[in-house]
């Protein structure tokens, strides 16, 4: 599952936004054209960079640890799902999976703070950070849609997982179309992307915590609303870039 999540990391999630420029310094743009703020993975796809050698900083080590936690979470989540299917749920596996997920998610803010506070921005960190974020999110959504965590098919709906992946595929294809059409790709993050990310995480927490006895379909519906809305906004931006001659490369 983690392999599938890593393979889909290039299917960009527009919900994670950063201020103008890369999150960590060191990736240098080879042209002088101004590109507006966008999610970090988008920058890796639409701008040419050259690498500068640097040692692995402590902030980057935290990012690497987050990536390493992704398969651990997937393994624990699947193992717990198997005990549920056997009719003898082992709650220690559920809590372990939840703890690993929370630690991995929390480390995202930690490595960014350390990189800024102690001037540990690096090329490698700027590359690995968005990969770690997307791997964790996609692995969580896909894994919890494949295994049931409780009675009554307690899992992320399969159609929601499909929607999350489909949105990212559509956005990635849109970027490729703009590149083929020789357009300057300047994607401005939309507020619906933040809401999309928040409610996707909320849906995952709903499944893992199992506190409220209502079906995970309900939070998935809310997350789907913002997922589709954000997708429409980025498609609208893409069409504008395609039609407006001032964005010709």
Q: pLDDT (tens digit, 9 = 90+) per residue, 101-119?
A: 999 999 988 998 999 899 8
- pTM value is 0.74
- pLDDT for residue 110: 92
Indicate if the pLDDT at residue 2 is higher than 90.
no
Give CA–CA dist 190/231, Å, rounded. 10
CATH 1.20.120.1760 fits 2-247, yes or no: yes
Residue 158 in contact with residue 6, Cβ under 8 Å?
Answer: no
From the list 43, 227, 205, 207, the residue with the least C-alpha distance to 127 is 43
Q: Of 28-37, 53-62, 116-125, which gets the smallest average pLDDT?
A: 28-37
Is 29 in contact with 48 (CB distance < 8 Å)?
yes
Give the domain ranges of the chain: 2-247
Confidence tier at 36 by pLDDT (50, 70, 90): very low
pLDDT tens digits, one per residue of 144-164:
999 999 988 899 999 999 999
Is 80 exceeded by the pLDDT of residue 22?
no
- Quick: pLDDT tens for 187-227: 677 889 889 989 999 999 999 999 888 999 999 999 999 99
DSSP 9: T
Mean pLDDT for the chain overall: 81
Strands annotated E in 25-116:
28-29, 49-50
């Amino acid at each position: 599952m983690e392999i599938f999540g890593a393979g889909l990391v290039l299917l960009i999630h527009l919900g994670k936004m950063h201020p103008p420029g890369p999150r960590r310094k060191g990736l240098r743009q080879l042209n002088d054209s101004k590109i507006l703020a966008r999610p970090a993975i988008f920058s890796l796809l639409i701008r040419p960079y050259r690498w500068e050698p640097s040692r692995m900083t402590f902030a980057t080590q935290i990012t690497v640890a987050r990536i390493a936690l992704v398969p651990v979470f997937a393994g624990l989540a699947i193992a717990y799902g198997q005990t549920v299917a056997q009719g003898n749920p082992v709650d220690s596996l559920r809590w372990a999976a939840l703890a690993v997920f929370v630690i991995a998610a929390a480390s995202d803010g930690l490595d960014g703070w350390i990189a800024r506070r102690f001037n540990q921005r690096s090329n490698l960190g700027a590359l690995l950070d968005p990969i770690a974020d997307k791997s964790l999110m996609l692995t969580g959504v896909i894994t919890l849609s494949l295994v049931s965590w409780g009675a009554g098919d307690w899992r992320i709906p399969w159609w929601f997982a499909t929607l999350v992946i489909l949105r990212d595929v559509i956005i990635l294809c849109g970027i490729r179309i703009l590149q083929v059409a020789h357009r300057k790709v300047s994607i401005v993050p939309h507020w619906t992307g933040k809401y999309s990310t928040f409610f996707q995480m909320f849906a995952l927490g709903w499944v893992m915590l199992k506190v409220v006895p209502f079906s995970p379909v309900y939070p998935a519906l809310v997350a789907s609303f913002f997922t589709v809305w954000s997708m429409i906004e980025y498609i609208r931006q893409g069409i504008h870039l395609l039609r407006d001659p001032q964005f010709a490369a």
